[in-house]
Amino acid sequence: MKNLRKRRLEKELTCESLGQLVHVKKAAISKYELNQAQPSREVLIRLAEVLECTVDFLLDLTDDPAPISAPKTLDEKRAEVEEIMNAKNGLYFRMAKTAKEIDLDEETIDFILEVYARGKGKKG
């Protein structure tokens, strides 16, 4: 688990401090880094949370440590639709000035965001 050591050092953590954060001994962290032991599923998940990366990164399955982003709330989605509507060359709805005036349900908002994301790369 070379990426575990890499990420731990990037976060300026010692084996001892990381062990304390995920509730294992410093020797366990060292063994994980040297591939002498494998963490349990629960420890692996805690490591990913503490180090703000994916489990795949810790398991050396990818070089991208990008954490999984949390799903957007309905309010965040509404704000994104509003931004799209207000953007130059954005979406326009007849008789509506803002997304709030339309009162869209979450399924419709998801659909609008998906269609917009697909069309964003196709300028024509």
Question: What average pLDDT does range 46-56 have in this prediction?
Answer: 93
Q: Do 81 and 87 touch, CB atoms closer than 8 A?
A: no
Name the token pair of 92. 């326009």
Buried b (16+ CB within 10 A) or exposed e, 53-81: bbbbbbeeeeeebeeeeeeeeeeebbebb
108 pLDDT band (50/70/90 cuts)?
Answer: confident
For the chain, give every domain's residue range: 2-58, 74-120
- The answer regarding whether domain 2-58 maps to CATH 3.40.630.10 reads no
The pLDDT of residue 8 is 96
- Condensed to tens digits (0 to 9), the pLDDT of residues 55-105 reads 999 999 988 888 656 677 888 888 887 777 666 555 555 445 555 566 777
Residues 104 and 89: their CA atoms lie apart, in Å, by 21
Residue 123 pLDDT more than 60? no
Q: Do 104 and 78 touch, CB atoms closer than 8 A?
A: yes
The pLDDT of residue 121 is 53
